[in-house]
């Protein structure tokens, strides 16, 4: 269903909007991209696939958590791995940021980033094997009270598993450097869900779904409650809508006060 809808959007993009979608930001589901390519919406245009940054980082954390849960007599290593997931994620994002700021070609950035990702586990777990050579990670020396866990990780086969996770990240080095995400799509989908009642009620008949999607567009683009639209049209919004908007407004004010 999702693949069909997205593919249809690509096929009708010129007809409806006069534009070509030359880039597709994916969330790890290769079946959607495969269907788009098979439909060949633009005969003379190659559609580039970019993996969503957030999904890549989320998958990284998930896979490391799975390694941390590996059964066996690993002593404190499970806790050590689990406690350093954020450091691994941060090392990846910092490496991407550093390479993006360099004035080099994309090809050179990809090669350098892959080298950085190979060193992440060594750096985070206290070995610092290539830190001096890379330069910006650190000076390569062990910090005060820092322990090198790499020998123990290798002894129990956990180092190789962690390196394989980072190797999979390196396969998406170009996507990481593109630094794109699907946040706006996810946000808009949540707005549509709010106006359509999610999957609880069938609002797909007699143009109701399209009307509710249009209402979601207005709400998303203007950040205004839909009662403003009723005011502009000279109609009176429903009582339930007014009550809901008042409650939401009070909640937003409360959150703002807490932040300040």
What is the per-residue pLDDT across 66-103, written as a single tens digit (0 to 9) for each? Answer: 999 988 787 789 999 999 999 999 999 999 999 999 99
Count of structural domains, the chain: 2
Instruction: Round to whole Å and give the CA distance between 120 and 117.
Output: 5
Indicate the residue among 128, 147, 178 that finishes a domain: 178
* Nearest residue to 110 (alpha-carbon basis) of 56, 165, 169, 174: 174
Instruction: Round to whole Å and give the CA distance between 21 and 23.
Output: 6
Indicate the residue among 9, 29, 51 that finishes a domain: 51
Q: Same domain for 138 and 69?
A: yes
Rounded to two decimals, the pTM is 0.73
The verdict on residue 184 lying in a domain is no
Indicate the residue among 18, 34, 51 that finishes a domain: 51
pLDDT in tens, 244-256: 777 777 777 777 7
pLDDT in tens, 221-235: 776 666 666 666 677
128 exposed, middle or buried (CB, 10 Å; 0-12, 13-18, 19+)?
A: buried
Domain that holds residue 12: 1-51
The verdict on residue 118 lying in a domain is yes
Say what the pLDDT of residue 138 is.
82
């Amino acid at each position: 269903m999702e693949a069909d809808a997205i593919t249809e959007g690509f096929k009708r993009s010129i007809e409806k909007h006069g534009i070509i979608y030359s880039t597709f930001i994916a969330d790890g589901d290769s079946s959607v991209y495969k269907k788009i390519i098979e439909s060949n919406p633009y005969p003379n245009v190659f559609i580039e696939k970019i993996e969503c940054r957030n999904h890549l980082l989320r998958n990284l954390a998930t896979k490391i958590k799975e390694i941390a849960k590996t059964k066996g007599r690993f002593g404190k290593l499970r806790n050590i791995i689990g406690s350093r997931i954020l450091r691994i994620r941060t090392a990846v994002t910092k490496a991407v940021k550093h390479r993006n700021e360099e004035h080099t070609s994309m090809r050179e950035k990809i090669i350098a980033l892959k080298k950085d990702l190979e060193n992440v586990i060594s750096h985070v777990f206290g070995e610092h094997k290539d830190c001096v050579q890379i330069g910006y990670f650190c000076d390569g020396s062990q910090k005060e009270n820092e322990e090198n866990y790499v020998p123990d990780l290798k002894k129990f086969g956990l180092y190789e598993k962690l390196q394989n996770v980072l190797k999979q990240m390196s396969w998406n080095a170009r996507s990481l450097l593109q630094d794109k995400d699907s946040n706006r799509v996810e946000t808009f989908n949540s707005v549509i869900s709010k106006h359509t009642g999610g999957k609880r009620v069938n609002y797909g008949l007699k143009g109701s779904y399209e009307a509710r999607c249009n209402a979601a567009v207005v709400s998303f683009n203007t950040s205004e409650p839909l009662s403003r639209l009723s005011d502009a049209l000279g109609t009176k919004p429903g009582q339930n809508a007014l009550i809901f908007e008042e409650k939401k407004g009070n909640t937003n004010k409360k959150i703002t006060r807490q932040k300040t």
